[in-house]
Structure 1
Amino acid sequence: MVKSLVKKDLFSHFTSPHFYICALILYLSTTFQFYIFNRFFVEGFGSTSLNSFFTIIPYIFSLIIPVLVLQVSNSELENIFPAPSYKIILSKLISTAIVISIMIVPLISVPVIVNIFGAVDFGQVIVAIIGILLYGILAVSVCLFLNELISSKPAFTAVSIVILIAIDSVHVLSLYTQSEKFLTNAFNYISFMWHFDSFSKGIIDTRDVFYFLLTSLLFVILAYFANETKKGRNFFDAKQKKFSVLIIFIMLFAFLDNSRVYKRFDFTKDKQFSISRYTKDNLNAAEEPVRITYYRSKELLNRYPEVRDIYDYLKICAQENKNISLFVEDADKEENQSVLEKLNVYPQQIEIVNNNKTEYIKVYSAIVIEYLGNQKVLPFVLSTNSLEFELNLRFESLIKNKSRNVYLLCGNEYELNDYSYLQSLLEASDMTPYALTKESLEYIIDQIELDSPLIIFGTSRLTPEQCSAIEDFILKGGKVFVATSKYSVSINGDWSVTKNNDDNFIPVLEAWGINFEDKLVNDISNIRISFMSSNSGNNPNEQTQYEYVNYPQWLAVLPQKEIPFGLSMFWASPISYTETVEPLFTSSDYSWTISEYEPRIIQETGKYFLSDPFTVNKTYIEDPLFTKEKSILAVKLKGPVTGFYNFKSIENPNVTVISDQYLAMNLLLELSSGGASDFRNLDFILKSILSLNNDNDLLKMQNAGFKNVLLYKITDLESFNNSKNISLLITFIVIPVIYLIVLSVIFIMRKKENEKYKY
């Protein structure tokens, strides 16, 4: 019976223009919003993040689902059709859900096209589509109930749209108004979009699945009650009262109990919300009690659903070993704040809007791990991005008593204070940085553990004896990261470039097959610098003016395998190499190199290159000193080498070299990112440290959850434009035409069978 009713309802959908109009509205509005409104193909705006694409679909559903439900609503037909009310309602639900599924199919073209330009996690896409389908079923159920209550079609359509949009957005109320915790929790629980959040991340959470299914069932039952009541049935008379009360209690129990026992299934590519075998081994190594305490502010919990993911992840960790216990504390309590202050954990500011006023509130989200009287802290966590990485560093330190030491050396004219951001990052990653001085290097380097990496910034001020000591450390099996080049820049002056002709370590690298060319790399993909100026420094009324300059010698290196988020480089030289060297990453296809001035000009001016930012960006590419070419910017030794200063050799040296001694310099990191540090450079150094230590499991975790949303796969401008035009043609012409042709054929075929469904 239900099957026949579903066929009848599908026939009603496919023979109505409403279905085709709704299908086109859904497809065109979502694709237009993603490609055009979000400026997907515009340089600097394009992003492979599909969050905005998926989150707009439920709101479009709020507009079209009432229309689809109305299409299968025919009271006169239902009165004469010999079928129970629940079967009629169920058939409407199933048929409309099938129609919604058909509407979603063309939308799959969006992630497929986006994947041509950047990386798309299709596991996340599939789960998000499942979430959209569940949302659609729930929205249909709500509309079926409202349809039983409202007889006027215009009134039903308007009320349904308003209610669906309101339920979609009710969780936002807590962001803009001061509300009690109970109300905030209620708003979050009611909100369709709040429960869709886990699906959009690639997680199937049984709590959210049960919410959608149980709520759909609830509204189907309410629709049945309303339908039967209209027919004169009284569910609260003596015969029906027990049945009605039983149904109500079953539903209440289901809603209350489903959140107590739940499972989360992580379908993301990097398993961001799961724990790896590596983590399990660390957790199971705990033979004594481990206490994990998560201090969080209720304001943060109410406003960021991601905070729930943190607790759920910690809960999974705690379940791995019976010796691990998890506690959640309200960080807003005075006694808890005192505890955090003693651990040097301080609140962070977040922006909120209350009554149309922007305010800043201080919140906590800190994790404290205790084991055998020792403590490790994650001072502020907002999501599960790289959370497994950070936890494992602390688990290994506490449970396995594993230390990670890193030695830092400035071999140029600067001091380690100029690179202090890196030291802070290493400490935050539970590594211990030790500062070396050039003067003490020869005496201390023999005491450095061979499994502790040595990071060197610049080599121009190192003596032959110091270079020999570093080389000897490498030949013994030491791990070294070298950031250096042939040239130095007057950073605190006019940015003129001079050559380090007396560099004693460059010959070591050259002997090993790493050659720095006598050039500087320039790139169209570069950093835009903001210069502050004023026409008259004596006039207090004169407004400060800003001039923005694209500086080709500061490279914005595009994302590549070894640098998934890219990084910034300053006055880098191209590297040529032999078979003993492995290149790590390069400049873009639109880069070029500048050769040194003629010796006469160098002798007269003392300058080797044109480096003035106000002039460089205006110099024509046809300049005879310019050569269009892609350049190698970083390499790693991979073959046997023999010492330059020492009569030794090693089969597998562990050395990484990048042609930029200013890579982690505080001042340049600030200038290149508008006053805030460009932590991509520091993350690359951290990644290199893990790579030198062969910490491959931790390497996989380091950037887990941080999606590379840049359009990096097509770097050639002409190819990009061709792909863009083809994508737009397919999206806005080919697919709609195919879609209309297919549906028109179905429409015509169904029309021919019209007589079979006339009653």
Structure 2
Amino acid sequence: MLKPLIKKDLYSHFISPHFYICSLILYLGCTIQYFIFGRFFVEGFGSSNLNNFFTVIPYIFSLIIPVLILQISNNELEQTFPFTSFKIILSKLISSIIVVTIMIVPLICVPVIVNQFGQVDAGQVCIAFLGIILYSVLTVSLCLLLKELIVSKPAFIALSIIILLGIDSIHLLSQYVQTNDFFSNLFNSISFIWHFDSFSKGILDSRDIIYFLLTGFVLIVFAYVIAETKKGKNFISGKNKLISFVFILVIVFSYIDNTRIYKRIDCTQTKQFAVSKYTKNIIRQAQQPVKITYYRSKELINRYPEVRDIYDYLKIIAKENKNISLALLDADKDENLEILEKLGIIPQQIEIVNNNKTEYIKVYSAVIIEYLGNQKDLPFVLSTASLEFELDIRFESLIQNKNHSVYILCGNEYEINDYSYLQLLFETSDITCYAITKESLEYVQDQLAVDTPLIVLGTNSLTPEQAASIEEFILKGGKAFVATSQYSVDINGDWSISKNNEDNFIPVLENWGVRFEDKIVNDISNVRISFYSPASANGVQNETTMYEYINYPQWIAVIPQNNVPQGISMFWTSPIKENSNIMPLFYSSPYSWTVKEYDESIRNKTDQIFLSDPFTVEKQWISDPLFTKEQVILGAKINGPISGLYNFESNDSPQLVVLPDQYFAMNLLLELASGGVSDFRNLDFILHSVLALNNENELLMLQNSGFKNTDLFKITNDVQFNVAKNISMAIVFIVIPVLFVIAAIIVFVLRRVKNEKYRK
């Protein structure tokens, strides 16, 4: 029986200062790295992404597990035990796993606290902690083996830490030293952390589970063999030789079979690693061969472990239909480079460091799908986020001959090129864009298909005839997304705001129940951008010009909501009046406020209807008489019958989405609002709206699959945020560490009392 041995080992752990010191090191190391070094509470840096939190735990385990193993190891005393070497080693393994599990319990406070500020995926957290326990099985097993090999305690501690850190980091070697495919794959397969990666994402992968358990078992067996060999037993002669040979063969074939036949279960809320019924129904309709080719650069897989998920996901797709074949090709080979060049696939650049030199190399990660002589491609994919959506758009086109398209019309003073990012988004999603000019609208309106959504960007330059053409399209059953505003802004100048009194389409919207208030919405949840500060900004004469970061309340950062799961940005927007003929899609934050237009006397003096200077707006007091603190509608959908203003038709169930922001998809503002990090959530929202207008509910669900909102959006008020921050920091860095100390004191006091009792 192992119970007496396990109880002995657990007692050795709990009465030792090493257990409490190691527990505190693990706890403080993880929390300091995540909250302090990760700048969790610093504006612009805080994220609810827990990947960095989980991936640091194995490295800290490499430092503390050797100490824990040393604490319960006493070879001289163990020689007197009436137990076999295998039972003694196995009891150490089990007791150490129990101790490690207890040690990680306080770390649960991290996702709990993070969830107060942002969104935490419970599935990911549970699977990640399971992965930590499995990882500890492997590291404990390795340390038990090393303890049988190394007699000296200092040497054991030093070598164990070096070996564990080396194994954990070996997969990173290919980033700094040029290696061939064999060694890259070998390093990845050896690395403990490489196999932990799927757990940190919330995925149960049978290959990684079997790797941890099987490798741990092998190490325990080797530790047993060494322990018995030191007692004089021979494992390489007679019957033992045959058993050893068979054991090695079974282990080798288990590893090989593990890589061929495996199961992956996505336990996350987003289910980005699972195949939906919608996708299965599409690909099962393929009666002829479907060829999927994934071109992937070796350098990319070496630096981004998540890229391996793409190929794994494609294999899951291929299993759904025997007609689907899948090939993984090295994009760096000359013959494949020629193919990619002919297909017009453009490589992406990534940064690498070789011999202390930073270089940029071109990499590929392209998926090509062929069916019945036709071909579709995904030019570059880096993860499985929204991969199923992108594949389904192409499967529908190839297998079902179902093509997606949109019309785009610029109805303001700008050109279609000013919205080219939007066109690019649709093109990369295999959705055909038809650009319509204002001048041609009257001539092509009869040719517009009502089942193809029309995107209207601004309306202040439309003539009455052009406005009537759009109205007629919608009244006939056409679907439309209209982003317009009653205000125009001098974007290339001083950002002064003027009113579009001659807009010919806004009266159409008002006739349908969509009425804009004569206000500008400001919000405490806003975009922080870098502004050029002139020498005389704010009436203060500066010696030099400078750049500074400013929170600009008139650029609203809409917090994630049902219809905007990732959040969006809006520019100089007006609130939409609530009435029975519209259905609100999303709102400003509870801490937003509106600003009325200046009265006539102030307009005559300042020649402005609103104060829009970013350096001054940021410093305005919300108590201004023109300000009203209120949460307002920022996006709406028509929810009732409509009739024409210019036409005599009517429509009982119109499909129309309206945003009071004509700059919503403009290239320049998207670049400024994203700070150069390609944050184009606004474009994703337009795509989302187009799918909704077409009642593509299944695709709608898949569009955001795999995307997690990692912003700290739950607390938007600065005062409340600081209070919650201080409470969280107190709990993490004061209360819980004090509990560690109290627990240690209680144990040692009880032990001392018990020892004194025995002495008496």
Q: What is the TM-score of this pair, normalised by structure 1? A: 0.94
Unaligned runs of 5+ in 1: 537-541
Aligned to 1:686: 687
Alignment partners' CA distance in 2, 1:276 and 1:179: 38
Alignment partners' CA distance in 1, 2:741 and 2:696: 54
Aligned to 1:583: 584
- Deviation, 1:606, is 4.5
Which letter does structure 1 place at the counterpart of 2:635? A
Aligned to 1:517: 517
Which letter does structure 2 place at the counterpart of 1:414? Y
Judging changes above 3 Å, is the alpha-carbon distance between structure 1 residues 468 and 655 closer, same or farther for their aligned structure 2 residues?
Answer: same
Aligned to 2:474: 474
Contact 1:589 1:629 (8 Å CA) reproduced: yes
Alignment partners' CA distance in 1, 2:535 and 2:471: 52
- Deviation, 1:415, is 1.7
Aligned to 1:624: 625
Alignment partners' CA distance in 2, 1:326 and 1:400: 20
Aligned to 1:250: 250
Aligned to 1:493: 493
Secondary structure of the corresponding residue to residue 101 of structure 2: helix
1:343 aligned onto 2:312:
no
Judging changes above 3 Å, is the alpha-carbon distance between structure 1 residues 752 and 272 closer, same or farther for their aligned structure 2 residues?
Answer: farther
Alignment partners' CA distance in 2, 1:757 and 1:170: 51
Alignment partners' CA distance in 1, 2:741 and 2:652: 65
- Deviation, 1:601, is 4.1
Contact 2:97 2:133 (8 Å CA) reproduced: yes
Which letter does structure 1 place at the counterpart of 2:703? Q
1:282 aligned onto 2:272:
no
Contact 1:531 1:548 (8 Å CA) reproduced: yes
Deviations 1:653-700 (A, max 9, x none): 211111110111122222333456541111111111111112121122
- Deviation, 1:746, is 6.5
- Deviation, 1:362, is 0.9
1:644 aligned onto 2:621:
no
Aligned to 1:701: 702
Q: Please give the root-mean-square deviation of Cα atoms over the aligned residues, in Å.
A: 2.5
Contact 1:418 1:666 (8 Å CA) reproduced: yes
Deviations 1:168-215 (A, max 9, x none): 111111111112222221111111111111111111111111111111
Moved more, 588-597 or 301-310: 588-597
Alignment partners' CA distance in 1, 2:656 and 2:526: 27
Aligned to 2:143: 143
Judging changes above 3 Å, is the alpha-carbon distance between structure 1 residues 317 and 474 closer, same or farther for their aligned structure 2 residues?
Answer: same
Which letter does structure 1 place at the counterpart of 2:628? T
Secondary structure of the corresponding residue to residue 329 of structure 1: strand
Alignment partners' CA distance in 2, 1:241 and 1:757: 51
Alignment partners' CA distance in 2, 1:199 and 1:757: 48
Alignment partners' CA distance in 2, 1:370 and 1:533: 54
Deviations 1:433-464 (A, max 9, x none): 11112223233223222221111011112223
Q: How does 1:361-400 map to 2 (within 5 A)?
A: 361-400=361-400
Aligned to 1:70: 70
Deviations 1:67-107 (A, max 9, x none): 11112111122111111110111011011111111111221
Q: How does 1:336-735 map to 2 (within 5 A)?
A: 336-531=336-531, 545-603=546-604, 606-675=607-676, 677-735=678-736
Aligned to 2:232: 232
Secondary structure of the corresponding residue to residue 89 of structure 1: helix
Alignment partners' CA distance in 2, 1:259 and 1:466: 62
Q: How does 1:748-759 map to 2 (within 5 A)?
A: none
Alignment partners' CA distance in 2, 1:498 and 1:364: 47
Aligned to 2:539: none
Which letter does structure 2 place at the counterpart of 1:273? F
Secondary structure of the corresponding residue to residue 28 of structure 1: helix
Judging changes above 3 Å, is the alpha-carbon distance between structure 1 residues 671 and 734 closer, same or farther for their aligned structure 2 residues?
Answer: closer
Contact 1:572 1:660 (8 Å CA) reproduced: yes
Alignment partners' CA distance in 2, 1:533 and 1:621: 24
Which letter does structure 1 place at the counterpart of 2:328? V
- Deviation, 1:31, is 1.9
Alignment partners' CA distance in 1, 2:651 and 2:756: 87
Judging changes above 3 Å, is the alpha-carbon distance between structure 1 residues 249 and 561 closer, same or farther for their aligned structure 2 residues?
Answer: same
- Deviation, 1:392, is 0.4
Which letter does structure 1 place at the counterpart of 2:346? Y
Aligned to 2:540: none
Aligned to 1:297: 297
Deviations 1:205-231 (A, max 9, x none): 111111111110111011111111111
Contact 2:587 2:633 (8 Å CA) reproduced: yes
Secondary structure of the corresponding residue to residue 576 of structure 1: coil
- Deviation, 1:648, is 3.9
Aligned to 1:539: none
Which letter does structure 2 place at the counterpart of 1:388? E
Contact 1:5 1:91 (8 Å CA) reproduced: yes
Moved more, 296-305 or 86-95: 296-305
- Deviation, 1:321, is 0.6
Alignment partners' CA distance in 2, 1:270 and 1:639: 33
Contact 1:489 1:495 (8 Å CA) reproduced: yes
Which letter does structure 1 place at the counterpart of 2:459? T
Contact 1:14 1:747 (8 Å CA) reproduced: no
Contact 1:669 1:676 (8 Å CA) reproduced: no
Contact 1:524 1:590 (8 Å CA) reproduced: yes
Alignment partners' CA distance in 1, 2:751 and 2:637: 66
Moved more, 381-390 or 522-531: 522-531
Deviations 1:52-79 (A, max 9, x none): 1111111111111111111211112211
Deviations 1:390-418 (A, max 9, x none): 00000001110111110111111112121
Judging changes above 3 Å, is the alpha-carbon distance between structure 1 residues 605 and 731 closer, same or farther for their aligned structure 2 residues?
Answer: closer
Deviations 1:692-721 (A, max 9, x none): 112121122112222110111122333323
Q: How does 1:169-180 map to 2 (within 5 A)?
A: 169-180=169-180
Which letter does structure 2 place at the counterpart of 1:317? I
Q: What is the TM-score of this pair, normalised by structure 2? A: 0.94
Judging changes above 3 Å, is the alpha-carbon distance between structure 1 residues 23 and 533 closer, same or farther for their aligned structure 2 residues?
Answer: closer
Secondary structure of the corresponding residue to residue 213 of structure 1: helix
Alignment partners' CA distance in 2, 1:239 and 1:294: 49
- Deviation, 1:482, is 0.7
Judging changes above 3 Å, is the alpha-carbon distance between structure 1 residues 425 and 163 closer, same or farther for their aligned structure 2 residues?
Answer: same
Contact 1:565 1:708 (8 Å CA) reproduced: yes
Judging changes above 3 Å, is the alpha-carbon distance between structure 1 residues 531 and 8 closer, same or farther for their aligned structure 2 residues?
Answer: closer
Deviations 1:341-385 (A, max 9, x none): 121102111111111111111111100000111100100111111
Which letter does structure 1 place at the counterpart of 2:173? L
Secondary structure of the corresponding residue to residue 577 of structure 1: coil
Moved more, 271-280 or 747-756: 747-756
Q: How does 1:125-140 map to 2 (within 5 A)?
A: 125-140=125-140
Contact 1:406 1:453 (8 Å CA) reproduced: yes
- Deviation, 1:572, is 1.1
Secondary structure of the corresponding residue to residue 79 of structure 2: helix
Judging changes above 3 Å, is the alpha-carbon distance between structure 1 residues 2 and 634 closer, same or farther for their aligned structure 2 residues?
Answer: same
Percent identity, aligned pairs only, is 66
Alignment partners' CA distance in 1, 2:753 and 2:676: 69
Which letter does structure 1 place at the counterpart of 2:406? V
Moved more, 288-297 or 727-736: 727-736
Alignment partners' CA distance in 1, 2:32 and 2:547: 35
Secondary structure of the corresponding residue to residue 435 of structure 1: strand
Aligned to 1:92: 92
Alignment partners' CA distance in 2, 1:69 and 1:233: 25
Moved more, 382-391 or 702-711: 702-711
Contact 2:524 2:717 (8 Å CA) reproduced: no
Contact 1:15 1:751 (8 Å CA) reproduced: no
- Deviation, 1:119, is 0.9
Alignment partners' CA distance in 1, 2:743 and 2:646: 76
Judging changes above 3 Å, is the alpha-carbon distance between structure 1 residues 548 and 19 closer, same or farther for their aligned structure 2 residues?
Answer: closer
Alignment partners' CA distance in 1, 2:238 and 2:668: 81
Secondary structure of the corresponding residue to residue 439 of structure 2: coil
User: What is the total number of aligned residue pairs between the two structures?
Assistant: 753
Alignment partners' CA distance in 2, 1:413 and 1:61: 61
